[in-house]
Structure 1
């Protein structure tokens, strides 16, 4: 397997035949920030320009697929603003090659958003999925207000959003959040098997079919994300948001006060 260099330590790209693997390298939990999501976008866009690549596996090192976004301000007193992060994240939805995500461990918040960039998801019973934004005191982001109900239906998406409930890999497959269930040690291998099956089809036909099925989707996700961001920026200064973050750190139920 040959390795392609990407100018960021957050991501590694490997190739074998017609399939490439883009690996998030922020173990153990692969929290993503603007550097990581920019590196992911650059890697996927580079593979779009590579005619030898017909399908992509999206994977991660460590215990978790992605335990969420790291949007903390890097300097004291700097206002929290996820706008640059989301601008880079929206690039992921505009790439052309079919993507199979290998989701092991935790996919939390933006980690679910990242998994939903892919066309398909292979997971394991031990995986945990949660869109826990409301439990933290703010509105979902990463375009999830569109991508999640599009995949699993509005009713199930609403329940997961409102409660922040964690579901395992088996439940994720049952509700349509993931497509295949594999043993924990075989998630990447099964994702590769599906990617190789896709790569065996005619690449021009696959990519044009994908473009037809996803026509206008990236624009709709970006519009949804603009709305998400506007609401988030109103909610980040609230006491409820501070309480949600504190409660998570202290591993207790939050005590929200609507202020």
Structure 2
């Protein structure tokens, strides 16, 4: 297994545990998503692994992108993410992995962090967790393939509700709408995720890979096509005053004053 800078991979029987280590909020960028994708490629190549748990240190699972305040003279708050098309190429690699993934969501999964959680097959969470597709609150367009994956998971109308309101969905409501599969106390999230992944790993590895390929047939291709559209919309909105206001308002913890331009 490769040496990574922002994740570690541990072996738990036939289960690989990938832990994100950018606490406390575990903001993502191209490097982090690429490291997760590379770890999954290596897990796919190792027949001793049959399932994966994706977990994180800190109080958040992944709080999304850290837009923050742009450097002086920089007009784009998203510039530090790097080229978003490259980011989405790395994200599609995650969707192409072959083995079942259980996400251990012990805290916030926001924006692209929600996209990362939804890329997994199952989510174990807790009452303290918060799930949010907060893109419109930023004056932005959803990304990370969420306009494909979220409606398929929770239904079109529930996805529209999350997209249009940017509201935070608590753990109990996530379970109710199908966004989460298991709800346990916060200190039990990782153990429960490992338990579920171990239950999966007791089964035939060839049967698992074959069945999962059938169940997720075409998903990675749909995500790849949709991220092209998402990127085009995001590129347009990155140049607007509303996007800058949304990022600034979020940083200042206030309601944004959007002008529609």
Shorter-chain TM-score tier: over 0.9
Which of 69, 82, 85 aligns to 1:83? It is 85
Q: 2:61 aligns with which of 62, 65, 70?
A: 65
Greater relative contact order (Cα < 8 A, sep 6+): 2
Q: Counterparts of 1:35-184 in structure 2 under 5 Å? A: 35-70=31-66, 77=74, 80=79, 81-184=83-186
Q: 1:74 to 1:36 in 2, by over 3 A?
A: farther
Structure 2 unpaired stretches of 5+: none
One of 2, 10, 13 as aligned partner of 2:9: 13
Secondary structure, aligned partner of 2:119: coil
How many residue pairs get aligned? The number is 255
User: Which position in structure 2 is the counterpart of 1:246?
Assistant: 248
Distance 2:97 2:52 in 1: 11
Structure 1 unaligned blocks of 5 or more: none
Q: Scaled by the length of structure 1, what TM-score is found?
A: 0.95
The CA deviation string for residues 163-200 of structure 1, in whole angstroms up to 9 with x for no partner, is 10001111100000010001100000000110000001
Q: Is 1:227 the equivalent of 2:229?
A: yes
The alpha-carbon distance between structure 1 residues 103 and 26, as it changes in their structure 2 partners (threshold 3 A), is same
Q: TM-score, normalised by structure 2?
A: 0.94
The match for 2:27 is 31
User: Are the equivalent residues in 2 in contact too, given 1:104–1:124 (CA < 8 A)?
Assistant: yes
SS at match of 1:116: helix
C-alpha distance in 1, partners of 2:175/2:220? 24
**Alpha-carbon distance in 2 for matches of 1:74, 1:95:** 36
Question: How far is the alpha carbon of 1:84 from its aligned partner?
Answer: 1.5
